Structure 1
Amino acid sequence: MLKARIMPREIGPEHSSAEWNYHPDLPLKNASIFQWPPSPAFLARWLAQNWLTLSERVIMVIASIGLWLLVYPPLEAAQSLSFGWIAQVWLVTFGVTFAVAGGLHWFFYMRKAQGLRLKFDKRGPAKGNRLWTFSDQVHDNMFWTLGPGVGFLTAYQVLILWALANGWAPVITFAENPVWFCLAMILLPIWSAFHFYWVHRFLHVPALYNHVHVLHHRNVNVGPWSGMSMHPVEQLLYHSTLLIHFVVPLHPIHLVFAMVYNGPGAAMTHTGYEDLLIKDKRRVALGTFYHQLHHRYYECNYGNQEMPWDRWFGTFHDGSAEATAETRDRKKKMFG
């Protein structure tokens, strides 16, 4: 899940500890937009940082508009299922995923352009361990991302485009409803975060975890290719967030945005770095320590920072030693 921008963009002091190469200020603060009592100032700052500047989300919207206008098949072509336009959707999804995950991997792990600055775990990708497909973490992650990951993400897009083209799912145009068109862009990541939390909790039921979700959790030390490295059953559940198009009137551009946000966007949040630095300023928001704690300790922080569920249901890990002890105790009770 792509994170919201909720911090100053200056680099500031860099914290480290025996467990972490880098971590933000601890304990983690409540960054949820669903705070009580509501804070108009916080909401205004969140809206401005994420939607009124050239933020990561705005860049994704611009890219989605360009992709729909330039490389996706026209909606009329999707009225009947045919190899040509389905292959075109697969090729676009594959290309965008490869470019984002591959580009981030090249920059951070091959070129090592940022070194270890803002990297949570000082270790690099694992090799020579039979835990991984092909005994290589990167090759394993690429296989599950570009195979089942791109496959399921394509299948959902094809299903929805086919339904939209035939009038079986509601569709709007910008000209008819510009206010809802723009508002839906802001709400889609919030819906995605809601969907992600509940699917993720379901995947941590011991039986499902041991046979399905464990594949993703082999990535204790994550990298860009880890974001969509999942078992096919998890791919089916995770990408089902796109089915909102069967319920809520939206435009195909919203579908492309959801594809970019939940697919290649997962590569960004699993980069292993908090932000991309350019001239000692945080220019692009990437991973969160919030989710990094989940990959390290498993039974905590199932959602993301914008949603309140982990705090409400007692599974929030704030980065403290006390929270680590509570999480390990919860894990023992769950798995025996």
Structure 2
Amino acid sequence: MDDLKFGVRNKRGDWTPNKPVEYAPLFQFPTRFMAILKWLPHYFLPWNVIFAISAVAYWAWVIPSVETMQTISVGWVAWLYGVNAVCVFLFYGAFELHLYVLKRQENRFKYNGKFPADQKSKAFWFESQNLDNILRTFLSGVTIWTALEVGMLWAYANGYAPWLSFAENPWTLALVALVVPVIHEFHFFCVHRLIHTPFLYKWVHSVHHNSVNPSPWSSLSMHPVEHLLYFGTVFYHLVLPSNPIIMLYQLHYAGFGAIPGHVGFDKVEVGDDKLVDSHAYAHYLHHKYFEVNYGDALIPLDRWFGTWHDGSPEGDARMQERYKRRKEKLAAKKASSETQEAAR
């Protein structure tokens, strides 16, 4: 597959798509109904359908009975952790094996031409990005994921969360399921802005940003506090009229859904002539520039708050202008403080 039909590669080997990132037309005004209809299949396929199916599969074959979940015990908690760990290993590992171990598409469609395994850094445990990311994923990420999953299932089993049945409330639950990605986007943006404040960035979020060149295992490589905040998106279902399956969908959207944004490739080659879009470029730019694209591209929150970067030269100019204004503001504040100090 010739990736230069879709983008350009610089001298360092970094690939950039020809088209800038665009927001989903869902929240664009005036409303463009035909654009929404054309975009709608991308809202479901392929990722959201995969996460929804995984939630249904969990409920059918993994989640214990309601009677069992009424009491928290080591047995079923350990069972859920084991299943989550195996599923993460298989799902994340499949991308890692295909793209980074076997390198089946070499560096085609890869944003950063270098591979993390080729570079040592003291920012990571054992100076290895992959080993650091894997350990953080399983020691903290899957553990906190499972803990919140257990807590929510216990709440449903004991009547502390609103549990609607699909038979009696099909349209209400369909609507809630439909807005799961919207809930995730809103929550992720708010949490992400929070952990970019200086104190939390230094002690919490910097762990994730050590992976400037993200790969699949970077997806859940976070500080435990960030894991708790990130997976906290599931708590919305303590107040929403929902269902345990939709709650699991919300959790899987966060857990398994972290992969597309960190896969490091714009497109994944499937067979000889099929491509699957990762929609990762917006978040890759966040890892590259740090202070842009706190959300993804579903809700235009970054545009509303002035932190949007679409990957175009114009987007880069807006970012540099924002940095310039901030430096000028800080310089003026410093000069004012020095003047006041001298006056004393």
What is the TM-score with the length of structure 1 in the denominator? Answer: 0.90
1:323 aligns with 2:318: yes
- 5 Å-filtered alignment, 1:221-240, equals 221-240=213-232
Q: Structure 2: which 5+ runs fail to align?
A: 332-344
The answer to whether the Cα contact below 8 Å between 1:11 and 1:281 also exists between their aligned partners in 2 is no
- The secondary structure found in structure 1 opposite 2:159 is coil
1:280 aligned residue: 273
Q: Distance in 1 between matches of 2:122 and 2:57?
A: 42
The answer to whether the Cα contact below 8 Å between 1:73 and 1:88 also exists between their aligned partners in 2 is no
1:300 aligns with 2:292: yes
1:248 is displaced (CA, Å) by 0.6
2:8 aligned residue: 15
Q: Distance in 2 between matches of 1:20 and 1:243?
A: 42
- The secondary structure found in structure 2 opposite 1:33 is helix
- The secondary structure found in structure 1 opposite 2:16 is coil
1:324 is displaced (CA, Å) by 4.5
Match of 1:177 among 169, 172, 179: 169
Moved over 6 A (4+): 333-336
1:331 is displaced (CA, Å) by 7.5
- The secondary structure found in structure 2 opposite 1:23 is strand
1:45 is displaced (CA, Å) by 2.0
Q: Over residues 283-307 of structure 1, what are the superposed CA-to-partner deviations in whole Å (9 max), with x where a residue is unaligned?
A: 3x32421111100000111111011
1:99 aligns with 2:57: no
The answer to whether the Cα contact below 8 Å between 2:261 and 2:278 also exists between their aligned partners in 1 is yes
2:334 aligned residue: none
1:33 aligned residue: 26
Give the AA of the match of 2:259. A
Cα RMSD for the two superposed structures: 2.2
The answer to whether the Cα contact below 8 Å between 1:16 and 1:23 also exists between their aligned partners in 2 is yes
What is the TM-score with the length of structure 2 in the denominator? Answer: 0.88
1:20 is displaced (CA, Å) by 6.4
The answer to whether the Cα contact below 8 Å between 1:270 and 1:287 also exists between their aligned partners in 2 is no
Q: Number of aligned residue pairs: give it.
A: 324
Match of 1:69 among 38, 50, 60: 60
- The secondary structure found in structure 2 opposite 1:276 is strand
1:59 is displaced (CA, Å) by 2.2
1:268 is displaced (CA, Å) by 2.8
Q: Distance in 2 between matches of 1:243 and 1:281?
A: 38
Q: Structure 1: which 5+ runs fail to align?
A: 1-9
**Quick one: structure 1 residues 23 and 169, their matched pair in 2 at CA, closer, same or farther if it must change by over 3 Å?**
same
**Quick one: structure 1 residues 174 and 111, their matched pair in 2 at CA, closer, same or farther if it must change by over 3 Å?**
same
The answer to whether the Cα contact below 8 Å between 2:92 and 2:217 also exists between their aligned partners in 1 is yes
Give the AA of the match of 2:198. P
**Quick one: structure 1 residues 238 and 299, their matched pair in 2 at CA, closer, same or farther if it must change by over 3 Å?**
same
1:122 aligned residue: 113
Q: Distance in 2 between matches of 1:323 and 1:27?
A: 14
The answer to whether the Cα contact below 8 Å between 2:25 and 2:36 also exists between their aligned partners in 1 is no
**Quick one: structure 1 residues 329 and 24, their matched pair in 2 at CA, closer, same or farther if it must change by over 3 Å?**
same
Give the AA of the match of 1:14. G
2:144 aligned residue: 152
Identical positions, percent: 37
1:84 is displaced (CA, Å) by 1.1
Which structure has greater helix proportion?
Answer: 2
The answer to whether the Cα contact below 8 Å between 1:101 and 1:268 also exists between their aligned partners in 2 is no
1:27 is displaced (CA, Å) by 3.8
